[in-house]
Amino acid sequence: MTPASPELNGPEAPSRTGLTSRLSDGGSAKQDTGAETPSGDAPKAGGPGAWWRSGRAVWVLAIIAVVSLVLGFGLGRLVRSPADLAAGEAVPPEGLITAKIEARSITSTVVARADVVFADPVEINPSAPEGVGGAVVTGQVPEVGAEVAAGAVILEVYGSPVFILPGIFRAYRSLGPGSSGPDVVQLRAALAGLGLNAGVDGAKTYDQALANAVKQLYENAGYPAPGSEDTSLARALRDARDQVTDARTARDQAVKDLAAAEQAVKDAPDAEGKQQAQQLADAARSALEQARRSVTRGEEALADAERASWTTMPVGAVVFVSDLPRRVDQVNVTVGSDLSQIGSGGMDPMTGMSASNAAVVLSGADIEVTAQVNLDEASLLTVGGPAVLGVGGDEVEGQIAEICPEADNLAGGGAEAGAQCAVKITAEDLAGLDAAAMVGNVLVTMVVGTASADPLVVPVAAVSADTAGHARIEVVEGELVKDQAAASQPTRMVGIVPGLTAEGMVEIKQADITLQAGDLVVIGRGAAQAPPSGEPSTGGEG
């Protein structure tokens, strides 16, 4: 017998028959126990492959298969295609979208930006004082933004003040003794307005009372009155007063002399003595007449001297401006500027500025508001209509004064698309605001129209038109049933006469039936979200 090969005769070696059997069975785990395998060659427990060759592998694979089946079934229930989702969901029914009828006023407005400036500015160009060769600014230059009131000094020219006084026409001549006319009346009224005693109101002739008021104006401003420093005038006045005093003294003595002479005539003892006394009396009478004439001439000279010493109002010393106080808008001079160069188109040598402007420009008495709107909006506005200016946190009421003065046809015609035009607005009441605080660019709201008091209004979306073009609304009849389909909710078409449209609402001026606030109108139809219970969805109040 041929000895067995060593590698096949070991204790771990399988039998040939068993190996062949497993291979022929396709890897089956069944063990072949052929006769060729000695009983002592059985596999050792716990050796390699022993666990697999045992029957436990079958059970593990079976369990894995069951778990995979369960997981696949669960995932299949969770993952659904869009087609499955669309097919599985029910389309909710169409419901009413409604809104309540309201009882309130609505206003249609045009909102724009407006420029606010002072109207009618006043240019101050003082002339040189009389007798002075150059008009040089020597002081009292105002600051831009300062307020100028009646009686204020706007500039000092060659050491003399230039006053601002209220008046309707400019000063065109110097006023003093002998002056008479409406300019005298204007000066008298202006000084009386400052609380000065200027004489009889309306008197046309320049008198001493008016002269004294002018003198007081200068003194209140801290300046000597014109002529007050003229020594020749003072000397002439003093001499005239002395002459009057001497003439009155001589007249009084002549009266006494005449009385004595007339008494001597009465006391003469005889005709000759009476004749001599009468001659002395006649001489005394002549002397008295002469003395009286001297007094008259002296008083006339004194009056002339006094009139010559009255304070005058030089033409260059006052600027009359209507409606004071005003605001200083521009200052084009400094101390040392030559006013003869200002306004002439030259150059001020002191400041180097262009001399094409006035020395000082005062603001107008009233503000001017100009809004820019397009022609379509302007066509809705009316002259006299209300406007509200927004100034900071305050509101100033005004009204429309002028609409597009440069446009012949607001509706268009030859106007370009988007063309703008000016709307003039006047402010009625500044509400306690300083007019200067309004200057700039502000928001203005102009009212186009306002509905009647407490009208009934509905949303614009609620109004439709029938085949004839008449306006109508759809009113819900009865109670609006929650979650009810539109087809099941009773409604009624109601003809209306619409009014103003504003703020997204339409005024109901007239209706075919009686309507009241709180009634529901249909503004649309749409599908609402289906309730979780699966009940059909309905429209509701919007």
- Convert the pLDDT of each residue in 459-470 to its tens digit: 999 999 988 889
Do residue 530 and residue 483 come from a single domain?
yes
Q: Say if strands 394-403 and 420-427 run parallel, antiparallel, or are unpaired.
A: antiparallel
Report yes or no: 356 and 343 within 8 Å, Cβ to Cβ.
yes
| Tokens 């995979």 found at | 68
Distance CA 24, CA 30 (A): 11
Q: Say if strands 160-166 and 318-321 run parallel, antiparallel, or are unpaired.
A: parallel
User: Could you give the 3-state DSSP secondary structure of residue 333?
Assistant: coil
Phi, psi of 180 (to 5 degrees): -155, 140
Identify the helix (H) or strand (E) that includes residue 3. Answer: none
Report yes or no: 145 and 327 within 8 Å, Cβ to Cβ.
yes
Report yes or no: 446 and 386 within 8 Å, Cβ to Cβ.
yes
CA distances from 396 to 284, 364, 435, 452 (A): 85, 19, 11, 24
Residues in a beta bridge with 395: 390
Whether 537 is in a domain gets the answer yes
The per-residue pLDDT for 33 is 44
Distance CA 435, CA 312 (A): 35
User: Could you give the 3-state DSSP secondary structure of residue 147?
Assistant: strand
CA distances from 328 to 74, 167, 526 (A): 89, 18, 66
Report yes or no: 410 and 375 within 8 Å, Cβ to Cβ.
yes
Burial of 155 (0-12, 13-18, 19+ CB in 10 A): buried
Q: Say if strands 420-427 and 440-450 run parallel, antiparallel, or are unpaired.
A: unpaired
Domain range for 434 is 367-450
Structural domain total, the chain? 4
Burial of 39 (0-12, 13-18, 19+ CB in 10 A): exposed
Do residue 372 and residue 443 come from a single domain?
yes
Do residue 397 and residue 444 come from a single domain?
yes
Do residue 428 and residue 467 come from a single domain?
no
CA distances from 246 to 210, 250, 300, 424 (A): 30, 6, 14, 73
CA distances from 391 to 199, 242, 387, 440 (A): 45, 68, 13, 10
- CB neighbours of 7 closer than 8 A, spacing ≥ 6? 13
Do residue 446 and residue 459 come from a single domain?
no
Helices 182-193 & 208-221, crossing angle to 10 degrees?
A: 50
User: Could you give the 3-state DSSP secondary structure of residue 375?
Assistant: helix
Whether 439 is in a domain gets the answer yes
Structure tokens at 522: 């249909």
Task: For residue 148, give the nearest of 465, 457, 391, 363 by alpha carbon.
Answer: 363
CA angle 309, 312, 315 (to 5 degrees): 150
The per-residue pLDDT for 291 is 92
Whether 510 is in a domain gets the answer yes
Residue 92 Cα to chain centre, angstroms? 53
At residue 100, what is the residue type?
K
Do residue 430 and residue 484 come from a single domain?
no
Do residue 435 and residue 500 come from a single domain?
no
Report yes or no: 167 and 321 within 8 Å, Cβ to Cβ.
yes
The per-residue pLDDT for 437 is 63
pLDDT tens per residue across all 542 residues of the chain: 444 444 434 444 444 444 334 434 444 444 444 444 444 444 454 555 555 555 666 676 777 776 776 666 665 665 666 655 555 555 566 788 889 999 888 888 888 888 887 777 888 888 766 666 668 899 999 998 888 999 999 999 988 899 999 999 888 899 999 899 999 999 999 999 999 999 999 999 999 999 999 999 999 999 999 888 778 888 888 898 999 999 999 999 999 999 998 898 888 888 888 888 889 889 999 999 999 999 999 999 998 888 888 899 998 899 999 888 888 888 989 998 888 776 544 444 443 444 347 889 888 767 788 888 888 788 888 888 888 888 777 788 888 888 887 654 444 444 565 688 899 988 766 655 666 666 777 888 888 877 777 789 999 999 999 888 899 999 988 888 777 777 778 889 999 998 888 888 888 988 999 898 888 999 988 764 433 433 333 454 44
Whether 526 is in a domain gets the answer yes
Whether 342 is in a domain gets the answer no
Do residue 492 and residue 527 come from a single domain?
yes
Report yes or no: 518 and 100 within 8 Å, Cβ to Cβ.
yes
| Tokens 């085949």 found at | 467
Structure tokens at 531: 């309730």
Residue that terminates a domain, selected from 259, 284, 309: 309
User: Could you give the 3-state DSSP secondary structure of residue 427?
Assistant: strand
The Cβ of residue 206 has, within 10 Å, a number of other Cβ atoms equal to: 25
CATH of the domain at 537: 2.40.420.20
Do residue 478 and residue 407 come from a single domain?
no
Residue that terminates a domain, selected from 432, 450, 468: 450
The per-residue pLDDT for 406 is 63
Residue that terminates a domain, selected from 406, 425, 450: 450
Distance CA 381, CA 354 (A): 43
Strand order in the sheet with 137-139: 137-139, 153-157, 160-166, 318-321
Distance CA 69, CA 491 (A): 57
| Tokens 């038109």 found at | 465
Whether 206 is in a domain gets the answer no
At residue 68, what is the residue type?
S
CATH of the domain at 419: 2.40.30.170
Do residue 484 and residue 438 come from a single domain?
no
Structure tokens at 76: 């299949």
Report yes or no: 362 and 327 within 8 Å, Cβ to Cβ.
yes
Do residue 436 and residue 490 come from a single domain?
no
Whether 80 is in a domain gets the answer no
| Tokens 């012949």 found at | 408
The per-residue pLDDT for 125 is 84
Whether 273 is in a domain gets the answer yes
Do residue 436 and residue 512 come from a single domain?
no
- CB neighbours of 248 closer than 8 A, spacing ≥ 6? 295, 298
